[in-house]
Homo-oligomer: A and B are copies of this chain.
Amino acid sequence: MRVSAFRRAHFNAAHRLHNPKWSDEKNREVFGLCNNPNYHGHNYELEVKVTGEVDPETGYLIDLGELKQIIYEEVEQRFDHKNLNLDVPEFSDLNPTAEYICYVIWQKLRARLEEKYELQVRLYETPRNFVEYPA
């Protein structure tokens, strides 16, 4: 019996979109307001989807309390109330677009989950803009 279980979490962070290989002018042209050198910020909302077989002993796919704790350790503790560009090493040379933040979160959670689980991450930058990895 194969199911998916989802857990939502959130973190509030500052970021700036910028490609250091480009001129300031090109950065402003491509990233617009998101290129503001003084940063701006978001309430990021995270939706973690785990897929696999239900354990007939517990009736759980995965203990969502344990998943919540993993998300706390890997994502909230590192990203919440942080400046993603300056405070999170993964973005020291990776542009913190929603796409790449989502990918980094996927990698961090993937490393903590057992092989038997499939993993997909959805990240809301705003209620109207969001991304999902893997597609």
Binding site for B on A (CB under 8 A): 1-10, 12-15, 17, 19, 30-34, 36, 38-43, 51-52, 54, 57-61, 63-65, 80-83, 86-87, 94-100, 102-103, 118, 126-135
Contact = CB atoms under 8 A, between A and B. Distances in A.
B4 A132 contact: yes
A128 B5 CA distance: 10
As for how many copies of this chain the complex holds, the number is 6
Given A14-B40, A19-B58, A51-B135, 14 more contacts: A1-B133, A3-B131, A4-B131, A5-B131, A7-B129, A12-B40, A14-B39, A30-B58, A38-B83, A40-B81, A41-B42, A43-B43, A43-B126, A54-B99
User: How would you classify the secondary structure of chain A's contact residues: helix, strand, loop or mixed?
Assistant: mixed
